[in-house]
Amino acid sequence: MAKQTFGSKAGLIAATVGSAVGLGNIWRFPAEVQANGGGAFLLVYILCVFLLGVPVMMGEFALGRGGRGDTISVYRRLAPGKPWWLTGVLGLLASYTILSFYLVVAGWTLEYLVSSVTGDLYATIPGDAPGSSAQFAHRMAEYVATPVKPVVFTILLIVINAVVLLGGVQKGIEKMSNLLMPVLFLLLILFCCVSLSLPEAGEGVTFFLKPDFSKITPGVCIDALGQAFFSLSLGMGTLVTYSSYFPKDTRLGRTAVTVSALDLLVALMMGIVIFPAVMSFGLANESFEGATLVFVTLPEVFMQMPGTQAWSILFFLLLLIAAVTSTISLAEVAVAFAADRYFKGNRRKSLLLVLLPLLIVSPLCSLSNGVLSHVTIFGQTLFNFLDTFSTNILLPLVGLTMCIYLGWFAPRGFLEEELTNRGAIRSLWPRVAMVLLRYVAPLLILLIFISRFA
Ligand code: PFF
């Protein structure tokens, strides 16, 4: 079967940005900004995106398109007989692990969307002051711990993934991204405009954008590095897999810069949405930890605005789009691998193999927030264990070995050939990327890694 490719440049960018833009940008980024002292974090984050994110992304793109295969077979093709394919195995494991709990959270966003439509989200709870943070915190805690509903919504998300992925690269992933990504940006622009028109907008923007250098500590830098890695979808095989669908004439350097810049732009826009809003409604001192920002603080904000339900619907739609496009890219890693390796390109069979186990694992993950919370792995619930194992261990490990492979062991001239489209374009990127991949990125990733255990 001929290898599938994306049909257009815009489609390829939309799909890759769709993978990168996710819950990481919408809630994790503002939470990190808040926890790390505002503008100081932002500055370091931007540096991390360009010093670490862009070169590693270029490396993943080169691997995927040059190796023309899934995240494991690219290494087998480029380094036959060597153990580098294990990096691909770890990438596959990372994407599948993240997918299993990301689906649960994506399910929450769908439920919050539905209950915004029905109005149930804003129904008062006996004993709590209407519209208070206690009301929404209780709702959230009760909701995630109930056994049935979150499982049903998780399964619905698996079904959505199945439908899109069944359509294949052009008619499934690309079509969905072309449709949803513009909607996501329009919604973001709308929210930015509304937030900037609020009374305390100036203060919020200042908190977010004004760098306070005294707050830059090693801890802040490491958090920013980790956030950049997660937000740009690095180290999970998704970018390798998607770039194996890039046509031969795609400019990989430019694409990596565009995708990283758009991902950063979404994070920046979310900062512009969140900080003016929480300042204006007197919620700036609430902690955004965990999922609080989107499921507790923002409903409080909407409650205080005219048109509560409409804003709530639009916001959870935005969140759902961000989450779904990311889950699709995570699932595609395994679907592409199984289709290539076991089913001669038959996506239907490969989808079954990939999604059926998720019908068990993801519901278990959901239940680990409630009835199964007493079952622990290394002292953590299944949900938390999969989260920390994948983000703290697998991601840096895959990123590190990939950089070492590309920087030191890949066939001579491989990166240059890919980044210049075999000499067809002139570009400074191969040299710059090589230095960053050889020395800078491994060092920085090593730092994240060590800090997780320190
Ligand atoms: N980048 C996504 C986010 O910011 O939420 C998460 C993600 C998606 C990570 C896809 C990894 C991935 F392969």
Give DSSP secondary structure letters for 185-213: HHHHHHHHHHHHTSTTHHHHHHHHHS--G
Give the count of alpha carbons within 13 A of 155, CB side only.
12
Give DSSP secondary structure letters for 216-237: --HHHHHHHHHHHHHHTTTTSS
Query: What's the token pair of residue 451?
Result: 């800090």
**How far is it, in rounded angstroms, from Cα 266 to Cα 271?**
9
Residue 25 CA, closest ligand 1 atom number: 4
Query: What's the token pair of residue 313?
Result: 């619907």
Can you give the three-state secondary structure of 302-319, one letter per residue?
HHHCCCHHHHHHHHHHHH
Which residue has the least CA distance to atom 7 on ligand 1?
233
State which of 233, 240, 333, 390 you would mutate to test the pocket of ligand 1, scoring each by most atoms of that ligand within 8 A of its C-beta: 233
Residue 22 CA, closest ligand 1 atom number: 5
Give the pLDDT score at 289.
79
Provide the CATH number for the domain formed by 9-453 in this structure.
Answer: 1.10.4160
Give the pLDDT score at 2.
58
Q: How many angstroms does the Cα of residue 198 sit away from the middle of ligand 1? A: 31
**How far is it, in rounded angstroms, from Cα 108 to Cα 144?**
8
State which of 71, 96, 98, 265 you would mutate to test the pocket of ligand 1, scoring each by most atoms of that ligand within 8 A of its C-beta: 98
Q: How many angstroms does the Cα of residue 25 sit away from the middle of ligand 1? A: 9
Are 100 and 362 a contacting pair, CB within 8 Å? yes
Query: Taking the mean position of all CA atoms in its chain, how far away is CA 339?
Result: 24
Q: How many angstroms does the Cα of residue 230 sit away from the middle of ligand 1? A: 6
Q: How many angstroms does the Cα of residue 234 sit away from the middle of ligand 1? A: 8
Buried/exposed 333-355: b ≥16 CB within 10 Å, e otherwise: bbbbbbbbeebeeebeebbeebb
Residue 231 CA, closest ligand 1 atom number: 4
Cα distances (angstroms) measured from residue 91 to each of 5, 236, 259, 361, 413: 21, 4, 20, 18, 24
Residue 326 CA, closest ligand 1 atom number: 8
Contacts of 97 (CB under 8 A, 6+ apart): 386, 389, 390, 394
Task: Sort 138 into a burial class: Cβ within 10 Å, 0-12 / 13-18 / 19+.
Answer: middle
Q: How many angstroms does the Cα of residue 330 sit away from the middle of ligand 1? A: 8
| Model pTM score | 0.95
Give the count of alpha carbons within 13 A of 20, CB side only.
32
**Nearest residue to 26 via CA among 311, 294, 317:** 294
**Which stretches of the chain drop beneath a pLDDT of 70?**
1-2
**Nearest residue to 322 via CA among 126, 138, 191:** 191
Q: What are phi and psi of 377, to 5 degrees?
A: -120, 120
Query: What's the token pair of residue 442?
Result: 């491994």
**Nearest residue to 150 via CA among 366, 295, 361:** 366
Q: How many angstroms does the Cα of residue 329 sit away from the middle of ligand 1? A: 8
Cα Rg of the chain (Å, integer): 21
**How far is it, in rounded angstroms, from Cα 175 to Cα 169?**
8
State which of 70, 104, 230 you would mutate to test the pocket of ligand 1, scoring each by most atoms of that ligand within 8 A of its C-beta: 230
Give the pLDDT score at 285.
84
State which of 61, 71, 326, 398 you would mutate to test the pocket of ligand 1, scoring each by most atoms of that ligand within 8 A of its C-beta: 326
Q: Which amino acid is at 339?
A: A
**Nearest residue to 4 via CA among 244, 204, 298, 172:** 244
Which residue has the least CA distance to atom 9 on ligand 1?
233
Residues with CB under 6 A from ligand 1: 19-20, 22-25, 95, 98, 230-231, 233, 236, 238, 326, 329-330
Indicate the DSSP class of residue 380.
B
Q: How many angstroms does the Cα of residue 326 sit away from the middle of ligand 1? A: 6
**Nearest residue to 334 via CA among 24, 91, 158, 103:** 91
**Nearest residue to 260 via CA among 99, 431, 59, 434:** 59
Residue 322 CA, closest ligand 1 atom number: 5
